[in-house]
Chain A
Amino acid sequence: MLPASSLPFFCATHSPPFAGSNVRMMLTMTTLAKGFLLTALLLGVVGLYLGLWRAPASAQQGGLYRILLVHVPASWMSLFLYPALTAWAFFTGMRLRSFPWRTIQAVAPTGALMTLLSLATGMLWGIPAWGSAWAWDARLTSVLILLLLYTSLMVLAWLVDSSPSRDGAGWILLLLGTILVPVIYFSVLWWPGLHQGASLSWGGSALMHPCMLNALLLMCLSFFAYSLTAILLRWQCLATEADFPKS
């Protein structure tokens, strides 16, 4: 018997009387999720400390640029999660021989949250820096489309009844988003607009104090660990609710 306290506390289920190998997997996932959450908090605290207190202000923008500590990791996660979701959905779908809506339900909300956070912090940064919260340049417009794709996946997963056309729409949305992600990444290069160039890339990084760069990398890792936590816990809840629906 598995004690109810070891389940994620926000699962909408009663104490499950389940037994068998699922128990070990569920316990492993909860432990993993707790580990990732702790990692995320630790990395986040250190990163924010380095970035907000230790790193110097910039010549152009003063202290305002520190908002990139949240903006850049959120943007990176929103770009990373969509192809990861497509890959995971593809392999799960091949195994299940049907569209894996549980995978979508596990990942899409976190992706949508990251995209929303990226847009919101971007707007907060833009008002003092650019003089405008929004402009229809390539980067901003394509990220908005990405947000619409994430929310469309969520609407399909939770609000639309099961049917072959729902599954077809799901695959199309996954494909469109995966194609859109490299477009978003290269948009500042292909279409010069308002948004500045990349802060982090394979070739190097933007010019900033090394302390700030370290803080930024730590925040990226922290957001990644948080995303894993959220996805693991959500997936666990969905699996538990599916196996043991409330009577």
Chain B
Amino acid sequence: MLEFARPGFLAAGALAALLPVLVHLIARRPPERRALPTQRFLRPDPRTAIRLRRRPTDLLPLALRMALLLLLGAGLAGPAWVPPAAGTAEIVLLDRGAGAAAAWVGQLVEARRILLPADAGPRGALVLFDTAAAVVAPARLRPELFDSLAAAGAGDAPTDYAAALRALAAARAAVQPADSARATLLSPLRWEGWRAGLARLRAAAWPGAIRLVDTPRLPPAAGAAEAPPGRVAILAPAGDGIHVEAALGALGWRVSRWLPGGEPPAQADAFVLLAPPAADAVPRLLAAVRAGAAALVLPAAAPALAVRPPWNLETEPGHVPVGLPVFLEEAGIPRRPGAGDSVAAALVAAWADGTPAAVARAEGEGCVTWVSAPLDRGPITLREGYPEALDRLLRACDRPAAGDAQGALPLDAGARAVLAGTASGLPPVVPLAGSDAEGGRPLGRWLLAAALLVFAAETLVAFRRTRSS
């Protein structure tokens, strides 16, 4: 449907288009010479030089001039093509990775309910993904398809949420000419599918929110039972570290304070270094770590340790970040520039662009985790997942190697917020067809361009006629 924002211009253009008709009715040639015996009784009238014809002449210039005025009026009237309402199409991202085997039937039921509603035909597209994605067009969405998928079961490949996100563009094209689209992700939502830089891909792949549907989670991997919180000593000046102390205490850690310059507590299962330890305390600290303790080293304390923070490091293959990749991004934690010797370590946290944020390396029986950003101050300390993040960093070496589908851990709230898009305030429904949701597809510039062409044509025709006459 064609709509005009300023219909007054359209009416004005239509009226103006009548003026050339009047002009073309006026005869410019010398008046007709005619006999009249009573001529001497007639008074001269100069208007005889102009006479009105019954039909307009020079039809081609007349048509061009009328077209020019009509196009100008229509172009200035703000025309827009507003397609008829075609509703919102559903796009379902269905996880077919090996880790979704237990949830496969439940996911299919939910997908069928979304894509094959009882009161209408297919109205969306299905994206099946694991490490690659395939888009099933709306025309192929039939009950038989879901039956065959149920019989086939989930696949053997691991899940890759990046593949699903990349397929959203094709799915978006498949559901046109709907007015808008809504995306739903059906997956157990685990870290196995997360990749470095996924947040950036997520922002580019889909301008709206993605509804995350909880499907049953996998049971914790065998042998991955977590040890109960123990005793943690926090090295910090007096008055600092209160957030770390509170967070770990909330999780059940028995927290003690260790002032700079003092000796590390003898009985501690973990250390959180918010300040550099005394030089003579480092050997005892490392001995405790090698005996089985964990050490979480924040940037202020890192230079004091003999081993430099391995920011420019080579990650061991197969390791993927576990925890905190965008948690840090959202909190606006400033990054520390990378420097230092390369040391083999596991990447346990990364920024959204893949820059290492935290690495962990086993030291004897224990573990040292270096974090590239201060976690003891700022708004990050008020986030809901803050205590869990600290706990996870303290247990970095305890986590099974990521990439093991059976040991996949669920995405935390931060990662879920990134996938869902709720953290960025994205709209739940995305307009399609490149049209303005409110105003339709503007056509004014095209009509004005056409008017320009007609003007050029009229000028050429008029010039040629002038020369020939």
Indicate whether A and B interact.
Answer: no
Could you tell me which A residues sit within 8 Å of B by CB distance?
none
